[in-house]
Amino acid sequence: MASLKWWETAVIYQIYPRSFQDSNGDGIGDLLGITSRLDYIAGLGVDAIWISPFFASPQKDFGYDVSDYCDIHHEYGTLVDFDHMIEAIHQRGMRLMVDIVPAHCSDQHLWFTESRQSRDNPKADWFHWVDPLDDGSAPTNWLSFFGGRAWSWEPRRQQYYLHNFLPSQPNLNHAHPEVQEAFRDIARFWFDRGVDGFRLDAVHTINADSAPYRNNLPKPDFVSGILPQQQQPFFRQLHDTAQLNQPAIQQFSESFRAVADGYDGDRFLMGELHGDDAVLASQTFTAEGRLHATYNFNLLEWGGLDVAGLRQAITDAVEAFNNSGRLVFAFSNHDVPRSVTRQLGALGLSSEHQDALQLLLLKLEVSLVGSSCIYQGEELALEDVQNIPVEKMRDPWGIEFAPNFAGRDSCRTPMVWQSDTPHGGFSDAEDIWLPQGEGHFARAALEQAATAESVYQQFSAFLHWRKSQPAMMQANYMTALSGTDGQIIFDRVSDTQRLRCCFDFDHLDASFEEA
């Protein structure tokens, strides 16, 4: 069996930098704060760290609106701080992935401020500019993820521009060769500083296909649900027909991959994507010469999944990608409610089962083929922070649909490190950018890391055991799922080991036996 590359079995720890650790007392997490907590992350036994965007940005979508891809937002630090951080990460035997946003930038980026001035400037075609229809309306029925139309009017050009998210996040035109070269330069800039890979945000929303722009079709099987995001008109459309997952996106994937392949050390490209057919989209994006892997959303269902749903989600993904490292699983991230909150509700369990369920989910995730991403706080079984007052909300998506929808602030609240200090040791500022959850103080990170039998300690022990198992580390093959209604059972198989993995949701425990 040929040895696998590091990213084919990696456990990756995701940091939301604004909420991890503040080092300078402004109430906002930063790069030096991350550096100060690296021993805590390394002690867990993960292989790599992924940090959500820290680039220069007006922070209207908290870093996912970039105004300079090659500089650090002043609230997070400097390039010197970054260089110090990555050196410290590598010294501890971990790798670093940064979060590049290729589909759109901020309307304050110099590219867009120039492009919007006229139809004949050097950046005029770097974005999607379209004339209005005869009646003055937008060129298509495309809708924004965050509500409203995906087109906004620019009086200076007398044209509409495209934005799949906020109006302040204009979509780049990746059909333009100079845009393609600009992103190759961005990749080289960070690879040259030692970055080991990129998490590529929302690559399915890259727009590169030229006019004529076509309307999205209605979704024939749409069912309105109780969650506000299901009630949004956006979810009533099929998007792969026109707006998203366009074939020309792969020009970007191939171009970016060519840069990565020019560096030593197995640089890793992980693409986040959705789609009307997510498995098919993932296969397309990870075809030869494109992205190495896609970030799989099967287990990130907003309302959680029962055991049958978990089994089906895993099966759908594994059937397409078994015996490969082209898949990255996650139960939680900065965009959905925390995993234990979602899954307690979906499985009909009470909070007394919080620790046992979280540990079971973590063990299940890192036992699947491919790599996996753990979101900060999962190792502590942190729950979502409920009932954040509207006046303290920061997420633009949540603010748009408040008070019926909590948005994403509930999973982004600052970490609690010590239960007996102001703001839990996150910051010594008088005010911090988001309120913390009272329940998180009983799960303070440094205290849990020092407590035997905590979720942190048990998961750390499991990760160290996992690294000694050939079936998990030397091959990416698993058998079809089996078990009773309350179980998920499969075998991980390598040339030298067959390991029976059983996850029992009736008793909330896992067992592993050589078969």
What single-letter DSSP state applies at residue 234? G
Q: Which residue, 386, 374, 361, is CA-closest to 505?
A: 361
* pLDDT confidence of residue 232: 79
- Neighbouring C-beta atoms of residue 141, cutoff 10 Å: 18
Host H or E run for residue 358: helix 354-367
Give pTM, 2 decimals.
Answer: 0.97
Residue 478 within a domain: no
- Neighbouring C-beta atoms of residue 134, cutoff 10 Å: 6
Give mean pLDDT, residues 366-375.
98
Q: Could you tell me if 44 and 21 lie in one domain?
A: yes
How far is Cα 189 from Cα 195, in angstroms, rounded to an integer? Answer: 9
Q: Could you tell me if 419 and 333 lie in one domain?
A: yes
Output the average pLDDT for the chain.
Answer: 95
Residues 150 and 143 sit within 8 Å (Cβ to Cβ): yes
- What are the pLDDT digits (tens) for 343-366? 999 999 999 999 999 999 999 999
Residue 500 within a domain: no
Domain boundary among 193, 227, 243: 243
Q: Could you tell me if 138 and 20 lie in one domain?
A: no
Q: Could you tell me if 117 and 221 lie in one domain?
A: yes
Residue 395 within a domain: yes
How far is Cα 142 from Cα 34, in angstroms, rounded to an integer? Answer: 39
Residue 497 within a domain: no
Residue 2 within a domain: no
Give mean pLDDT, residues 309-333.
95
Q: Could you tell me if 360 and 230 lie in one domain?
A: no
6 burial level (CB within 10 Å; 0-12, 13-18, 19+): middle
* pLDDT confidence of residue 167: 98
CATH code (residue 84): 3.20.20.80
- Neighbouring C-beta atoms of residue 438, cutoff 10 Å: 9
Per-residue pLDDT band for 159 (boundaries 50, 70, 90) equals very high
Backbone torsion region of residue 243, taken as left when φ is above 0, otherwise alpha when ψ lies between -120 and 50, otherwise beta: alpha
* pLDDT confidence of residue 1: 45
- Neighbouring C-beta atoms of residue 274, cutoff 10 Å: 17
Q: Could you tell me if 361 and 404 lie in one domain?
A: yes
Residue 347 within a domain: yes
Residue 189 within a domain: yes
For 220, phi then psi, to 5°, come to: -65, -25
CATH code (residue 225): 3.90.400.10
Listed range (94-103, 109-118, 130-139, 230-239) with the worst mean pLDDT: 230-239
DSSP 59-88: -SSTTSS-SEEEEE-TTT--HHHHHHHHHH
* pLDDT confidence of residue 231: 67
* pLDDT of 510 higher than 80: yes
* pLDDT of 97 higher than 60: yes
Q: Which residue, 477, 483, 479, 480, is CA-closest to 507?
A: 483
How far is Cα 473 from Cα 492, in angstroms, rounded to an integer? Answer: 10
* Residue partners of 275: CB distance under 8 A and separation at least 6: 204, 239, 240, 244, 245, 281
Q: Are strands 217-218 and 237-238 parallel, antiparallel or unpaired?
A: antiparallel
Q: Could you tell me if 256 and 365 lie in one domain?
A: yes
Catalytic residues: 201, 272
Listed range (6-20, 208-222, 279-293, 305-319) with the worst mean pLDDT: 208-222
Q: Could you tell me if 153 and 110 lie in one domain?
A: yes
> Which residue segment(s) compose the domain that 116 sits in?
104-173+210-243
Q: Which residue, 203, 207, 290, 293, is CA-closest to 254?
A: 290
Residue 501 within a domain: no
* pLDDT of 162 higher than 60: yes
Q: Could you tell me if 214 and 142 lie in one domain?
A: yes
Q: Could you tell me if 27 and 165 lie in one domain?
A: no
| Number of domains the chain contains | 2
The pLDDT > 90 percentage for the chain reads 90
Instruction: For residue 271, give both structure tokens.
Output: 């693409």
Residues 316 and 298 sit within 8 Å (Cβ to Cβ): yes
Q: Could you tell me if 168 and 272 lie in one domain?
A: no
Give mean pLDDT, residues 471-499.
97
Name the CA radius of gyration of the chain, rounded: 22
Q: Could you tell me if 152 and 218 lie in one domain?
A: yes
